[in-house]
Structure 1
Amino acid sequence: MDHLKRRTTVLLGLVMVLVLPFGISLAQNPPGNDNPNETWRNAPRHSAGLAPDPVANADTAIVQVYAASTYSWRGYFAVHTWIIVKHSGAKTFTRYDVVGWGGGNVIRTNYAIPDGLWFGSEPEVLVDLRGEGVDDIIDDVEKAVQTYPYPQEYRSYPGPNSNTFIAHIGREVPALDLDMPANAIGKDYRDITNPVGMSPSGTGVQANLFGVLGFTAGLEEGLELNILGLNFGIDFNRPAIRLPSIGRLGLPNSGSLAAADASEKP
């Protein structure tokens, strides 16, 4: 009987761990707020006001990485990530995404405006780098875009997808200090020929099979366990619990803090 109680308690605990993050995600994005006339064709794609004015900052090299909830019901579980870059002297940003629909090469350049809403979802800043030394980082980012190993493949789950692409850039360019949220499904995708390597931040190690089973340990990610594409962990760098559906509970990542500081400057 005691054995049965222990099993029941463990089972209930596991259910709570899975259901609670999803419940929080629902609370943050209530279904009742959806516009019944809104489709992916007419969903808002305007600027979120997060990217600095490239003309006013023409002399400054800038890199930003964004994450926004994916479209429709998928947004309760996962985010889409992308990166924008601007060399010093340039007056426009270049945006890189992986987008699955449309066929052919899934890497898209300037698919949308730099900081545009992702089909109605407000983006969050994960990385915000500006100034001295950033031109070199941009060169490395552009090289990483060219070496993405899955330019003709796309699967929403478990990958490779948009988050697999940004995770690849993070590994190749550790100067980004990229900390991808736990709900960036696909960030841990590794095929059978390359199951062990650097974590997406480039600051740790990762072992994973196809994004559905493995673990990550890194200075940026902390400790994270991946089970069936759902990630659970602890971030020690900026204390937080890493959870599926909502990404993290605790202090925001460094990109969000940097963006907030920049927005407060006159």
Structure 2
Amino acid sequence: MNGKTRQVELRLAKIPYIGFIAVHYWFVIVHNTTKCDRWEIWQNRNRGGENWGHLHQNLMGAYNGVGNGESCREYTWHGKTAEKLIRVIEESKDNYPYCYVYRYFPGPNSNTYVAWVLDKAEVDYSLGRKGIGKRYCELR
């Protein structure tokens, strides 16, 4: 990766205790070979890193799991699609409507946030069936 090409990774990890039915999704913006930012909704407010209620930037290391094993990369976007995603993600601290609301079920939760970003960036990508909360905005 050269110094000017950014990419966005969609990552996931099994949720502790219920990982057989639910996963936690988040985004990693890879700016260059040495800098990346993790963006996600966490169940607790103001837990670390930069945060806006439940929305956190760099609460944990970009590739850390969430307490039930390692994380894995599900998808990577490059080019114009990555840049659209980055714009929506970085502006989400001002635009995401559920920064101060969190519910495990039916949402809004981490998966609601990821689905919302994908929708606002007009990226046609469907989260897996274990992404509980991904359809919260559709149901509203």
Q: Determine if contact 2:111/2:134 at 8 Å carries over to the other structure.
A: yes
1:208 paired to 2:124: no
Q: Determine if contact 1:145/1:169 at 8 Å carries over to the other structure.
A: no
Distance in 1 (alpha carbons) for counterparts of 2:92 and 2:24 = 18
1:112 paired to 2:43: no
Q: Encode CA deviations 1:85-117: one digit per residue, 9 max, x unaligned.
A: 1346x8411111111124670001101111112
Change (3 A) 1:137 1:106: closer
Aligned to 2:119: 171
Distance in 1 (alpha carbons) for counterparts of 2:57 and 2:6 = 18
Aligned to 1:181: 128
SS at match of 1:174: coil
Identity between Structure 1 and Structure 2 (%): 25
Q: Determine if contact 1:127/1:178 at 8 Å carries over to the other structure.
A: no
Return the TM-score normalized by structure 1.
Answer: 0.45
Aligned to 2:35: 92
Distance in 1 (alpha carbons) for counterparts of 2:13 and 2:62 = 13
Number of equivalences? 134
Q: Determine if contact 2:84/2:121 at 8 Å carries over to the other structure.
A: no
Q: How does 1:63-74 map to 2 (within 5 A)?
A: 63-72=8-17, 74=18
SS at match of 1:170: helix
Greater helix fraction, Structure 1 or Structure 2? 1
Return the TM-score normalized by structure 2.
Answer: 0.81
Q: Encode CA deviations 1:67-102: one digit per residue, 9 max, x unaligned.
A: 211012x212211010011346x8411111111124
Gaps of 5+ in 1: 1-55, 191-206, 210-266
1:135 paired to 2:83: yes
Pairwise CA distance, 1:57: 4.5
Gaps of 5+ in 2: 47-51
Aligned to 2:100: 152
Q: Which amino acid aligns with 1:161?
A: N
Q: Which amino acid aligns with 1:78?
A: A
Change (3 A) 1:174 1:108: same
